[in-house]
Amino acid sequence: MAAAHEPEVIRDKAAMRAWSRRRRAEGKAVAFVPTMGFLHDGHLSLISTAVAAAAGPVAVVVSIYVNPSQFAPTEDLATYPSDFAGDLRKLAATGAVAAVFCPPDLYVRGGAGAGESGGAVSCLEDAGGHAHETWIRVEQLEKGLCGSSRPVFFRGVATVVAKLFNIVEPDIAVFGKKDYQQWRVICRMVRDLDFAIEIIGSEIVREADGLAMSSRNVHLSCEEREKALSISRSLANARTTALNGNNHGQQIKDQIVQTLEEAGGQVDYVEIVEQESLTPVVRIDRPAVICVAAWFGKVRLIDNIEIQAPS
């Protein structure tokens, strides 16, 4: 990374759009890293990926916005950690971020009551946000995995990312593969709706002991954190098992579940799916990914590992 450089902080949507157009007029590509803040080294690695992905001069934009439409009323929106001043210091220290987009809100709010349209609602609607009523759904990819227990999540993610794309107007956007289903949902949305944006998936960044970096890790007690290491360890063991010739999906899933439960975790799901379509596989005889979600204490953690089928 370059020497520390204070990024420009932009809060207004029109100002953000104008900023990007000026950078493009200067001959720079605009690379975009959307985040919800409380940044860690995993987020900072996305910035490095964005810089490396550009063929020439690049202006990197990082957004910080906790999106209410991807949280159900029962989820942790109110307790989602934040440290805006700390985030700005970390971004400045990279020397690679030209602007930080941190809008106060991205949704038009209204006074209608929640639940009028039927079905699952988000925190946005629960707070009386029915003035916003346009949603993007990637119908097949949002099913299963995290979509099973979080029915409004991917609708909210796809919609807010589309809004951010329309505001920032990037040439490149980088998403972490830790949120594997989210990355694939965004790739499919961009393909299907003809966004002229290159989507790049950045590899998972882990702590020294193997735990996948997450803003939610701060809520783990020392004991819970130690138990949560069973996730990455079981995934690594499963990958070794598959590459050594035991490609029976159910046996591998059962072993992961047993490992997590013995460590004190409450399993949300363990699934083995095709890497692009996210359809379940019975045998790992094609490029696949093992995806895990589990609770340790009150913290829900996700992780995954890609497997290229043995030749």
Rounded CA separation 108/128 (Å): 10
Is-contact 20 61, C-beta < 8 A? yes
Cα 33 to Cα 47: distance, rounded to the nearest angstrom = 7
Q: Which of 5, 43, 132, 248 is labelled catalytic?
A: 43
Sheet containing strand 58-64, edge to edge, reads 8-10, 97-101, 58-64, 29-35, 172-176, 198-202
**Residue showing tokens 């990637």:** 138
Residues 6+ apart with CB under 8 A from 189: 136, 138, 158, 161, 162, 195
Residues 20 and 164 sit within 8 Å (Cβ to Cβ): no
Q: Taking a C-beta distance cutoff of 8 angstroms, is the pair 30, 170 a contact? A: yes
Q: Where are the alpha helices (DSSP H) in 84-140?
A: 84-94, 123-126
Active site residue 132: no
**Taking the CB of residue 125, how many other CB atoms lie within 10 A of it?**
25
Number of H helices, E strands in the chain: 9, 9
Instruction: Indicate the residue type of 68.
Output: P
Write the CB contacts of 58 (distance below 8 Å, at least 6 apart in sequence): 28, 29, 30, 31, 50, 51, 172
Q: Which residues are catalytic?
A: 43
